[in-house]
Amino acid sequence: MNENLYSKITDALVDDGYIILENALPKELTQKLSDYAKQSSNYTNAGISSSKNLHIDTSKRSDKTLWIDEDGSVCSEYLAFCEGLRNYLNHALYLGLTYYEAHFARYEEGDFYEKHLDAFKGNKNRVVTTVLYLNEEWREENGGELLIYDEANKEIQKVVPNAGTLVVFLSDKFPHEVLPAKGKRHSIAGWFRVDRR
């Protein structure tokens, strides 16, 4: 059922290195994830990983996150979708992706995430990034867009965080940032990795 979607993502990663898909998942699934994101209260300050340890640096990002664990029942359908994509990418492109990690992120009024890369070249752990947005009726004045840059730091895409929009890109090729949000903004950011847990 997801084969067409997986192959579309795979082709785009090969051709362009990224893809932006609106209404990527069944509406009911996006809705369930959105409800879960909104009702959860155990978000914590997001960390920025440095070479050795994880420290909290709120000057670079001010959102809060909630890691998804294996047995989170509402999330299992989404994790199954991602597991299918992991297998597809491995078969099609021999990427050797070992696992997928993901967290919900909550941005409140004024929260942002400065321009960054999810992986650094030569430091292979995160290889493919996914971001799924969970905001119904997001209005333009709510800001919070994802800006994507190319390797020459030229802005190439501005993504409105509408419910159901899925962004997939190569983690070490595209600097990106989240503009300050003016309302509560929910997403699930995830990474396919090549190391061991």
Q: Which residues bind ligand OGA (CB under 6 A)?
A: 105, 113, 118, 131, 146, 176, 178, 187, 189
**47 touches 56 (CB < 8 A):** yes
Neighbours of 94 (CB within 10 A): 8
Q: How far is the CB of 3 from ligand OGA (least distance, A)?
A: 27
Q: In Å, what is the CA distance from 97 to each residue of 27, 91, 121, 122, 193?
A: 28, 10, 16, 16, 5
Q: Which does 146 bind (CB under 5 to 8 A by kind): Mn ion, ligand OGA, none?
A: ligand OGA
Q: Give me the residue whose beta carbon is nearest to ligand OGA.
A: 189
In terms of CB distance, is 92 or 183 closer to ligand OGA? 183
| Residue sitting closest to Mn ion (CB) | 118
Do residues 145 and 158 make contact, with C-beta atoms less than 8 angstroms apart? yes
- The nearer residue to ligand OGA, 92 or 180, going by C-beta atoms, is 180
Beta bridge partners of 61: 113
Q: Smallest distance, Å, CB 131 to Mn ion?
A: 8
> Per rule CB under 5 A, is residue 63 in the interface with Mn ion?
no
Q: Which does 132 bind (CB under 5 to 8 A by kind): Mn ion, ligand OGA, none?
A: none
Query: What track of x and - describes contact with Mn ion for positions 114 through 153 (by CB under 5 A)?
Result: ----x-----------------------------------
Picked from Mn ion, ligand OGA, none, the partner binding residue 78 (CB below 5 to 8 A depending on kind) is: none
Cα radius of gyration (the chain): 16
- Please report which helix (H) or strand (E) contains residue 90, including its range: helix 73-93
CA–CA separation, 104 and 112 (whole Å): 15
- In whole angstroms, the minimum distance from the beta carbon of 70 to ligand OGA comes to 20
3-state class percentages of the chain: helix first, strand second, coil last, to nearest 5? 25, 35, 40
Interface with Mn ion (CB under 5 A) = 118
